[in-house]
Structure 1
Amino acid sequence: MNIEETEDSLYPIAVLLDELRADDVNFRLNAIRRLSTIALALGVQRTRDELIPFLDESIDDEDEVLLALAEELGNFCEYVGGKEHAHIILGPLENLAAVEETLVREKAVESLTKIAAVLSQQQIEDYYIPLIKRLGSGDWFTSRTSACGLYAAGYQNATPSSQEDLRSMFKALAQDDTPMVRRAAAANLGKFAKKIPKEHVILDIVPLFSKLAEDEQDSVRLLTVEDLVAIAEVLSKDECKNYLLQTLRSMVSDKSWRVRYMIAENFVKIAKAVGDEVTRENLVMAFVNLLKDNEAEVRTAASGQVPGFAQYVDKQTILSHILPCVKDLVTDTSQHVRASLATQISGLAPILGKEATTEHLLPLFLQLLKDEFPDVRLNIISKLEQVNEVIGIELLSQNLLPAIVELAEDKQWRVRLAIIDYIPLLASQLGVTFFDEKLGSLCMSWLGDNVYSIREAATINLKKLTEVFGVEWAKTTIIPKILEMGTNQNYLYRMTTIFAITTMAPAVTPEVIRDHILPTVNSLVSDPIPNIRFNVAKSYEVLIPVLRQCSETAVLLETQVKPALDKLRDDPDTDVKYFAEKALLAGK
């Protein structure tokens, strides 16, 4: 029955009630997800008069259903008649913001802030602020934690007297006896600070921040690190120095490693927020202490900040204070610290310049390239391009090429893969003569690797090298070696030949395909291994467009390619037949 056509106005609500009381959670969940459809059918008046009150009164006991409801209601303004009636949605969301499950409360707070953004000042005064007061004075900590997330959204649209009340109420929550509430206050203090005029940030927010940063619970203190950044972005550089610096110093030496970890993780953001002068004068030794911290997790986080922080200090400071720490971290007992450093250390090269990089960083790169932990080697390889741009390929190859060649045969396949990805860039800088002498045989050896991903990457690498050095180089240097593998007794080598020439085909000329590649593909049409035969069919599908480009080679489609595909189409193997048919369609 159509909802709009029923005479009984309670029918839709009754139906929804039945669905929401069904034993099957999925059934109830689907009912919640259809709320917008039901609201459209009811119309805005009945949605306000019937549906919203019903949702306000019936709270499900399943968190999954409540979570879906909290999300749906955040997008419900249009269904109740737009902005002027949006406050009606606050009721059920207030109930959801007080439930036990954290995810439901967080989603309800998110939806409440969405609704607050469209409310008028009168609606904020009449409905939103009273809601915050009720949640903020609730007996259970759950409602008070939710209240902490609502202040920022409603503050700017409130009257001056209400704004004063909001600041006062937030202060009370930040001093709540329950750690969970103080934690919620700390998590939202920075957002609140961004909505408040600077004079009230200094008068009200900074003292709250300082108190929370000294809280007895480290789970509260660690959340104030992001507050520090947010508040610093509101204040001037001198104000940061006057009001925040002492607290920052205390946080850097906090007795809890988790707080120090958060400081280390956000150190570049902090340096940017407080400005160059404060950073140079007051934060260098703080950063050095984090790099030397006795907890590996803190050193790991600080290592990841090295190049970012180096941008805010002068070169001499880097050489005198930061680089000695970096040298120690290269041999750190924690592999995670070394891996984090390996990801970031090359970022120092553009800052230090060619001479200092050659003198100070290259030995460290070499040491990291020989690290026993594969992720360290992998991370340093992946960022060598930055070093190359600073010192040039000649110095890089002289110092690091032996280590790179050694890593090309690393027992960890992911390291070998990273080297393969780096080869085309290296080749373009080295030049063809140097490449053929030092790395050519290495690139061919990867085609016989026992790991499929390496063989696949090696074929792609050959295509990229062809694009770098040209078709003539490929024709004389690598294609003969690839084709030679096509007669190997081991079928994996023959398979690799098919993969390689198929991958390279778009990068070479139709003449090279005619004279060198096509004869080998044709010879493998009768290969005894079905996997090779269907890959031959796939290869033809790639070769056809290239052969068509030239009238001299297009004739080969009728004389060689089509007969071969006809033969494969009659193959006893169904996969071979399928790919042959597919290639024939491409040839039409």
Structure 2
Amino acid sequence: MAGASELGTGPGAAGGDGDDSLYPIAVLIDELRNEDVQLRLNSIKKLSTIALALGVERTRSELLPFLTDTIYDEDEVLLALAEQLGNFTGLVGGPDFAHCLLPPLENLATVEETVVRDKAVESLRQISQEHTPVALEAYFVPLVKRLASGDWFTSRTSACGLFSVCYPRASNAVKAEIRQQFRSLCSDDTPMVRRAAASKLGEFAKVLELDSVKSEIVPLFTSLASDEQELVSDTNQHVKSALASVIMGLSTILGKENTIEHLLPLFLAQLKDECPDVRLNIISNLDCVNEVIGIRQLSQSLLPAIVELAEDAKWRVRLAIIEYMPLLAGQLGVEFFDEKLNSLCMAWLVDHVYAIREAATNNLMKLVQKFGTEWAQNTIVPKVLVMANDPNYLHRMTTLFCINALSEACGQEITTKQMLPIVLKMAGDQVANVRFNVAKSLQKIGPILDTNALQGEVKPVLQKLGQDEDMDVKYFAQEAISVLALA
């Protein structure tokens, strides 16, 4: 490990004439070896200052080897170092010397901590663009090969993120080697490596020639999608979930005919996967495949997967599919939606989990914005209003929440004629929670109503609620009267 004096930055090191102008740099470099983590972290953040003082030649010959040798440190320090080095090209002499930054970053790309490796890969990707094609093959590609064949899985996972940036400018012979190494990682013995390769499959496919995508990437996808590794469910799910998130991106590369022939069977198989995350990742990226082959070809296979996700025992899975429902609705069209999915959206309104009921309410608002007020008046609003008579007071409150969300999207006429009478009727509910939510709803929809409705219908009801025996009801009623200026 090089010390400060070895870097030639101690007193008198500038030329032997007693000039100690570089002495502060020596102090900073000593700090890099200090036991105080915060002090080392602060020093790492001053690396550009050190490099500027040393000059490009000594930065290359002295500072970078020093940093490469002192790579073992706290994760926080290593993370800062990985980030700094990504912006160091100008400090080592420009693109012609960018390869000098590779050794410390290569070491950082092999450490145990994931965030450090990811930042090192990010910096390497950035620096790769600085290399000329010749330098890329001379320095960067060998680095990728070393990482890809490393003994530790950490280096092999890092390699997965570097193939796509070096492939486009490589020669044909080197391209073949790169593809071979990527294939090897897709069948790696370690599940984490296969998962990393799967997550970069779409990104790598985008820079490949079409023939290579069809002959190599699609078979790789098929193999990974049927991964039956025995560390059991968790590993499998991660691999297949990562694959599901990239398969849709391949469709835009392959085009309609190839997508239908090669990807559609895999796509449909993953829609039936037992892992909810796999099905969800497919559904959430439907817009990509819709652009290529159209949603109608998928609808019959899509529906069962949506229904299963909508009724999944894990409420977070149900929540996720609700959030994608407006996207699906726009792709499937109003007729298909009304026939197959409308009932699901209404069922979510009475889910036993509040977060689901809340999301379902917001979903209805987005659907009205997509399909229009006439659709809402004929299809959604009547079903929502029927819930006002539900024996369960939570469902009655959901009616109010829906009215709050729908009123702005539906406009004054529907709100006044269809929704307001129900809200006013619910002011007499026996449950105080419902009554004070009536007051809150009237405050919410009040600005949408005309003056006659406010003065003639809303004001008397709020005044009555303002005298309610329940303190919460009284409070929210008086607040609504104040906000709506009805006093």
- Shorter-chain TM-score range: 0.7 to 0.9
Query: How many pairs are equivalent?
Result: 449
3-state SS in 1 of match to 2:299: helix
**Partner residue in 2 for 1:581:** 478
Q: State whether structure 2 residue 390 is matched by structure 1 residue 488.
A: yes
Shift of 1:113: 4.3
How has the CA–CA distance of structure 1 residues 175 and 504 changed in structure 2, closer, same or farther, with 3 Å as cutoff? closer
How has the CA–CA distance of structure 1 residues 201 and 584 changed in structure 2, closer, same or farther, with 3 Å as cutoff? same
User: 2:429 pairs with 527, 539, 545, which one?
Assistant: 527
Letter in 2 for 1:260: R
Q: State whether structure 2 residue 63 is matched by structure 1 residue 170.
A: yes
What CA distance in whole angstroms lies between the structure 2 residues aligned with 1:416 and 1:438? Answer: 17
Give the 5 Å matches for 1:539-578.
539-548=441-450, 554-578=451-475
User: What do the CA deviations read for 1:267-306 (whole angstroms, capped 9, x no partner)?
Assistant: 334446x558577333111111111111111111111111
**Partner residue in 2 for 1:327:** 222
Letter in 1 for 2:209: D
What CA distance in whole angstroms lies between the structure 2 residues aligned with 1:457 and 1:190? Answer: 42
What CA distance in whole angstroms lies between the structure 1 residues aligned with 2:344 and 2:157? Answer: 43
Give the 5 Å matches for 1:4-403.
97-110=32-45, 112-113=46-47, 116=49, 150-151=50-51, 153-155=52-54, 158=55, 163-170=56-63, 173=66, 176=69, 180=72, 187=82, 191-197=87-93, 201=97, 209=102, 229=125, 232-271=128-167, 274=169, 280-332=175-227, 333=229, 334-403=236-305
**Partner residue in 2 for 1:423:** 325
What CA distance in whole angstroms lies between the structure 2 residues aligned with 1:91 and 1:572? Answer: 77
Letter in 2 for 1:526: G
TM-score by length of 1: 0.68
The structure with the largest alpha-carbon Rg is 1
Question: Mind listing any 5+ residue stretches in structure 2 that lack a counterpart?
Answer: 1-20, 230-235
TM-score by length of 2: 0.82
**Partner residue in 2 for 1:141:** none
What CA distance in whole angstroms lies between the structure 2 residues aligned with 1:214 and 1:467? Answer: 52
CA contact (8 A) 1:378 1:414 kept: no
How has the CA–CA distance of structure 1 residues 275 and 198 changed in structure 2, closer, same or farther, with 3 Å as cutoff? farther
What CA distance in whole angstroms lies between the structure 1 residues aligned with 2:395 and 2:342? Answer: 18
Letter in 2 for 1:197: G
Letter in 1 for 2:72: M
What CA distance in whole angstroms lies between the structure 1 residues aligned with 2:387 and 2:64? Answer: 76
Letter in 2 for 1:262: S
**Partner residue in 2 for 1:536:** 438
**Partner residue in 1 for 2:4:** none
- What percentage of aligned pairs have identical amino acids? 42
Letter in 1 for 2:44: V
Shift of 1:317: 0.7
Letter in 1 for 2:478: E
CA contact (8 A) 1:381 1:418 kept: no
Shift of 1:492: 1.5
What CA distance in whole angstroms lies between the structure 1 residues aligned with 2:349 and 2:299? Answer: 24
What CA distance in whole angstroms lies between the structure 2 residues aligned with 1:524 and 1:261? Answer: 59
User: 2:358 pairs with 447, 452, 456, which one?
Assistant: 456
What CA distance in whole angstroms lies between the structure 2 residues aligned with 1:175 and 1:446? Answer: 56
What CA distance in whole angstroms lies between the structure 2 residues aligned with 1:180 and 1:260? Answer: 19
What CA distance in whole angstroms lies between the structure 2 residues aligned with 1:113 and 1:564? Answer: 69
How has the CA–CA distance of structure 1 residues 376 and 103 changed in structure 2, closer, same or farther, with 3 Å as cutoff? farther
3-state SS in 1 of match to 2:129: helix
What CA distance in whole angstroms lies between the structure 1 residues aligned with 2:174 and 2:465? Answer: 71
What CA distance in whole angstroms lies between the structure 2 residues aligned with 1:384 and 1:561? Answer: 45
What CA distance in whole angstroms lies between the structure 2 residues aligned with 1:231 and 1:427? Answer: 43
3-state SS in 2 of match to 1:516: helix
User: 1:444 pairs with 323, 326, 346, which one?
Assistant: 346
What CA distance in whole angstroms lies between the structure 2 residues aligned with 1:511 and 1:179? Answer: 69
3-state SS in 1 of match to 2:449: helix
CA contact (8 A) 1:209 1:227 kept: no
CA contact (8 A) 2:276 2:309 kept: no
What CA distance in whole angstroms lies between the structure 2 residues aligned with 1:479 and 1:240? Answer: 62
Aligned alpha-carbon RMSD (Å):
3.4
Shift of 1:455: 1.2
What CA distance in whole angstroms lies between the structure 1 residues aligned with 2:242 and 2:204? Answer: 15
3-state SS in 2 of match to 1:478: helix
Letter in 2 for 1:414: R
What CA distance in whole angstroms lies between the structure 1 residues aligned with 2:106 and 2:343? Answer: 60
Shift of 1:164: 3.5
Bigger RCO of structures 1 and 2 (CA < 8 A, at least 6 apart): 2
Letter in 1 for 2:210: K
CA contact (8 A) 1:279 1:312 kept: no
What CA distance in whole angstroms lies between the structure 2 residues aligned with 1:219 and 1:483? Answer: 57
How has the CA–CA distance of structure 1 residues 226 and 567 changed in structure 2, closer, same or farther, with 3 Å as cutoff? closer
**Partner residue in 1 for 2:10:** none
How has the CA–CA distance of structure 1 residues 105 and 580 changed in structure 2, closer, same or farther, with 3 Å as cutoff? same
Once structures 1 and 2 are overlaid, which stretch shifts more, 428-437 or 529-538?
428-437
Letter in 2 for 1:107: N
Shift of 1:426: 2.4
What CA distance in whole angstroms lies between the structure 1 residues aligned with 2:173 and 2:473? Answer: 70
Question: Mind listing any 5+ residue stretches in structure 1 that lack a counterpart?
Answer: 1-85, 117-149, 549-553
CA contact (8 A) 2:57 2:93 kept: no
Letter in 1 for 2:133: K
**Partner residue in 1 for 2:310:** 408
How has the CA–CA distance of structure 1 residues 212 and 330 changed in structure 2, closer, same or farther, with 3 Å as cutoff? closer
